[in-house]
Amino acid sequence: MRSDRRRGSALVTAVLFAALIMSLMGTYMQLSSGEYRIATRSFLANSSFNLAEGGIDLALDAIQRGDSSGWAKASDKAGKPYWARAFGDFDLGGNTTGEIKVVIMDPGSSNPEIYSEGVAYGHIGGVVSKQLYASLTSGFLPFRNGFNTKKGMVLSGNNVTFDSYDSRVGNYGWGNRNSEITIATISVGVDSINIGNADVYGYVATGGQLPDVGPNGSITTYHNPGRVDWSRVTTDFYAEFPNVSAPLLSSPSTSLPTNGNIMGGEYLLNNWNSSGRKTLNILGDTTIVIRGNMKLSGRAAINILNNASVRIYADGDLDIGGNGILNSSQNPGQLMIFGTDTTEGSKTLKIHGNGYLAAAVYAPNANVELKGGGSSGRVYGSIVAYDAKLTGNSHFSFDEALADYSLGSGGYEIDEWVELAGVSLTSMSLNMAEYGL
């Protein structure tokens, strides 16, 4: 009898233990299933967001080329013309597919609007969609922010500074020192802008992630200095940076001196180097097309006098050391530097030592390196680059006078870009079904 009781007690214990194990396994399976669903929804959300970004690109390309083939064309209830199109069957992996739905409002106007929706289908996580809005302006205004990159930016050292001034008021100084620069990248990667211990007196904009700010870094203003003012940070920046080509020259000279004076003119060079104590003074309007590389070293300098202007188109590397390229008026608009190479990241624009530069630089496929450390090395103007690194005592001041500078008409650029989350009247998504999508 006692043995039976023991066996019964052991059986009850085993049953209770099995029930406990089953309960724990059920809880674990439920937690695992929940985590899987969350991970899946996150994957689908990122995928649909990327699809929507692709739709912006497709719409912008169609508008730039004026090509409406494949687009449905009609007018909405208010009589506003639009183009609509769906792009489908994108394989997202894991038995999921994607679709892009795009509506372009007023495609033939000077200020079109784009609504782009990315949709992910076919997974247990359900259908997930993201919708983006972009407004465009005609013309090409590449210098509105101050410092733009495609890939990102790294700021190293304890004395890297960004700020702004207005050359229409005068030279940079205590009475002309502002906090209106925006350093921006279209990259959506983590740490696409690494502030480090630099001081940014202005704004920071990325394509999707917050900037990494070091313990001594700041994003602030001269008026109310502090450490990091997050109201000056945005994560929805988008822009187009088209390639540029060198102009056709009528009767250029094939040699450019490294010392003395030139009155201006056109120059077509394979390479150009200057070193030692040589100084080239430019007294008139000058266009220089360099098929290869340009280098200033030693104490060499180029001096642009007050009434002169210089346009440099370089397909190779630019190494500006020595005493740099000097603008007597400290007006960056007098010196335009264009990187014409079309391969991203293959060429480098380097400014280092006591190198001084006051210029508007448009090199969307070049790596830009500003390496301070000299007693007077600094850069004024605006820069568009593929990637950027600033080290040492680098100081960059955006010339606000360049914000409205146009490199030509006939094209469009993105004026505003935002995710339509439906949280306010200004961010309500478009009903794509009303446009046949």
Q: Report the pLDDT value the prediction gives residue 270, as an integer from 0 to 100.
A: 97
Whether 124 and 177 map to the same domain: the answer is: no
**Among the ranges given (39-53, 62-76, 418-432), the one the predictor scored with the smallest mean pLDDT:** 418-432
Q: Do 77 and 163 fall within a single domain?
A: no
pLDDT at residue 212 greater than cutoff 70: yes
Kindly state whether residues 49 and 163 are assigned to the same domain. Answer: no
The answer to whether position 27 is within a domain reads no
Strongest mean pLDDT among 29-33, 67-71, 109-113, 219-223: 219-223
Q: Is the pLDDT of residue 425 over 50?
A: no
Confidence at residue 329, expressed as pLDDT on a 0 to 100 scale: 73
3-state secondary structure the chain: CHHHHHHHHHHHHHHHHHHHHHHHHHHHHHHHHHHHHHHHHHHHHHHHHHHHHHHHHHHHHHHHHCCCCCCEEEECCCCCEEEEEEEEEEEEECCEEEEEEEEEECCCCCCCEEEEEEEEECCCCCCEEEEEEEEEEECCCCCCCEEEEEEEEEECCCCCEEEEECCCCCCCECCECECCEEEEECCCCCCCEEEECCEEEEEEECCCCCCEECCCCEEECCCCCCCECHHHEECCCCCCCCCCCCCCCCCCECCCCCCEEECCEEEEECCEEECCCCEEEECCCEEEEECCCEEECCCCEEEECCCCCEEEEECCCEEECCCEEEECCCCHHHEEEEECCCCCCCEEEEEECCCEEEEEEEEEEEEEEEECCCCCCEEEEEEEEEEEEEECCCEEEEEHHHCCCCCCCCCEEEEEEEECCCCCHHHCCCCHHHHCC
Q: What is the average pLDDT across 207-236?
A: 94
Q: Are residues 53 and 181 in the same domain?
A: no
Q: Are strands 146-155 and 161-165 parallel, antiparallel or unpaired?
A: unpaired
Q: Indicate whether 10 belongs to any domain.
A: no
- pLDDT, tens digit, for every residue of 4-50? 555 556 565 655 666 566 655 555 455 444 554 555 667 788 888 88
Residue 249 lies in a domain: yes
Range of the domain at 242: 146-407
Structure-model confidence comparison of residues 27 and 99, the more confident one:
99
**301 and 390: one domain?**
yes
Q: Are residues 177 and 228 in the same domain?
A: yes
Q: Is 401 in the same domain as 422?
A: no
Average pLDDT over residues 87-108: 89
Mean pLDDT across 279-307: 94
Residue 218 has pLDDT above 80, yes or no: yes
Q: Is residue 3 part of a domain?
A: no
Q: For residues 199 and 155, what is the distance between their CA atoms, to the nearest angstrom?
A: 10
The fraction of the chain above a pLDDT of 90, given in percent, is 55
Q: How far apart are CA 265 and CA 325, in angstroms?
A: 18
The encoded tokens of residue 18 equal 């099995």
The answer as to whether 14 is a domain residue is no
On the CB side of 50, how many CA atoms lie within 13 Å of its CA? 14
Residue 34 lies in a domain: no
Amino acid at the residue 415:
D
Do 290 and 269 form a contact (C-beta atoms < 8 A)? yes
pLDDT tens digits, residue range 310-347? 999 999 999 988 888 888 777 899 999 999 999 999 99
215 with 357, same domain? yes
Question: Within a domain: residue 24?
Answer: no
Stretch 395-415: mean pLDDT: 82
* pLDDT for the residue numbered 297: 92
In this structure, is residue 247 part of a structural domain?
A: yes
Amino acid at 76: D
423 to each of 56, 115, 426, how far by Cα in Å?
21, 16, 8
Q: Do both 325 and 221 map to the same domain? A: yes
Do 292 and 338 have their domain in common? yes
pTM, entire model: 0.70
* Pair (84, 157) in one structural domain: no
Claim to verify: residue 427 and residue 290 sit in the same structural domain = no
pLDDT in tens, 151-203: 999 887 668 899 999 999 998 999 999 999 999 999 988 889 999 999 999 99
Instruction: Provide mean pLDDT across the span 360-389.
Output: 85
Domain count within the chain: 2
**What's the pLDDT at 239?**
82
Structure tokens at 15: 């049953």
